[in-house]
Amino acid sequence: MSEIRAEIVLPTESLRQDLPFFTRTLGFRLDMIYPADNPAVAVLSGHGLRLRLDQDASGTPGHLRLHAAAPDTVAGGKRDLTSPGGTRVTIDELNPPLVLPATEHAFVVRRLADQAPWVIGRAGMQYRDLIPSRLGGAVIASHIRIPDGGPVPDMVHFHKVGFQLIFCYRGWVDVVYEDQGGPIRLAAGDCFIQPPEIRHRVLEASDGIEVIEIGVPAEHVTEIDHEMVLPTARLRPEREWQGQRFVHNVARGADWMPFRLPGYICRDTTISANTKDVAGVQVVRKGQGRPAWARHDADILFGFVMEGGMTLEGEGKEPFRLSPGDAFVIPPGMRTRWADPSDDVEVLEVALPGRFATETGG
């Protein structure tokens, strides 16, 4: 197979003036230049790129973006420059800090019966948006399904997030994670916490697999890692990624305890402890006693009805009878009540932060 080498062509109005700009100011290396008596073309390389500056090339000036680990050390700390030949250059952070938008609090109810469209997302998966407003960009909640099971066309990748939960609602899925050994099967009722930037790959799924995925913030970057091979050789179950540990919580054999709301019990997924209270995740069922009115002070409180049903009553709102597949968000300070639960009701509750106060009665 013959060698292939790619170049980006940048028109230039002044090659003679552009050369010191690209080599001295930006740190590119000159690889080729011609003709010798009156140069019109130069090829440079650096920062993962190969550039051809061409005085005879047609088109508008190009835009070059450089991502640097220490951008203030490049080009004298300038972030926006224009070369003498017209190329615009932007210098940016290689790993910019994650920005968490302020939450725009709202009372939200999203019904499966409303028939919101399923859209095709990454790796051919089907997505249903459970919080259309995304609370101003603070969070995304997705109901994801793969109708036809089998191998998933996925690659080793990671997400630049503050928090990410994968809860298996129906079926099963096999996933392999960095430093966590071989493939892990996530079955119905089980969940993963994917710490920020942990490498992973979805391998195979059952027919009709459905998961609930929560991500903070709503818009976050997914990057492919072309170098890492999974599973990794080392097993490091205690490793932390930005203060969070990987969690594989299994539903079978879990302990049940009183929930924060009267009339319900819950099982804790240990996610609050393993994220240092960034988020908490609990599965809730009907218990003893009567449901009561309550308010909370969490920034984000999301619920998804997995089985059975209940009536969500809110101060100043019409009651909503919720069924499997329905989702809701209760803003801080709003009085609500989970009324008339069926005997088989089961609700997934996700809270950010993991520790918050609930006031009942009144």
Q: How far apart are CA 121 and CA 273, in angstroms?
A: 31
Query: Quick one: which of 192, 198, 215, 210 has its CA closest to 271?
Result: 192
Buried b (16+ CB within 10 A) or exposed e, 225-260: beeeebbeeeeeeeeebeebbbbbbeeeebeeeebb
Provide the β-strand partners of residue 314.
336
Architecture of the 257-360 domain = Sandwich (2.60)
Q: How far apart are CA 187 and CA 144, in angstroms?
A: 15
Query: Quick one: which of 300, 305, 210 has its CA closest to 264?
Result: 305
Q: What pLDDT score was predicted for residue 152? A: 87
Instruction: Give residue-wise pLDDT tens across range 260-297.
Output: 999 999 999 999 999 999 999 999 999 999 999 999 99
* 108-249: CATH number: 2.60.120.10
Task: Assess whether the region 8-93 and the region 108-249 belong to the same CATH fold.
Answer: no
pLDDT class of 126 with cuts at 50, 70, 90: confident
Q: How far apart are CA 323 and CA 74, in angstroms?
A: 57
Identity of residue 303: G
Higher pLDDT, 333 or 96: 333
pLDDT class of 28 with cuts at 50, 70, 90: very high
Q: CB neighbours of 54 closer than 8 A, spacing ≥ 6? A: 9, 10, 11, 12, 40, 41
Tell me whether residue 47 is exposed, middle or buried, using C-beta atoms within 10 angstroms of its C-beta: 0 to 12, 13 to 18, 19 or more: middle
Instruction: Give residue-wise pLDDT tens across range 66-91.
Output: 999 898 988 888 999 999 999 999 99
Instruction: Give residue-wise pLDDT tens across range 142-196.
Output: 999 988 889 988 999 999 999 999 999 999 999 999 999 999 999 999 999 999 9
User: Structural domain boundaries of the chain?
Assistant: 8-93, 108-249, 257-360
Write out the two tokens for 265: 């019990």
Identity of residue 194: Q
Give the distance, in angstroms, between the CA of residue 175 and the centroid of all CA atoms in the same chain: 16
pLDDT class of 1 with cuts at 50, 70, 90: low
Identity of residue 78: K
Q: CB neighbours of 173 closer than 8 A, spacing ≥ 6? A: 152, 185, 186, 202, 204, 205, 206, 209, 211
Dihedral (Cα; 12, 13, 16, 21), 10-degree rounding: -60
Q: How far apart are CA 300 and CA 314, in angstroms?
A: 16
Write out the two tokens for 43: 């090829």
- Residue 96 scores a pLDDT above 90: no
Q: Is 343 left (phi over 0), alpha (psi -120 to 50) or beta?
A: alpha
* 8-93: CATH number: 3.10.180.10
pLDDT class of 257 with cuts at 50, 70, 90: very high
Q: What is the percent of the chain where pLDDT is above 70? A: 98
Query: Quick one: which of 122, 246, 119 has its CA closest to 176?
Result: 246
Q: What pLDDT score was predicted for residue 23? A: 96
Q: How far apart are CA 129 and CA 142, in angstroms?
A: 5
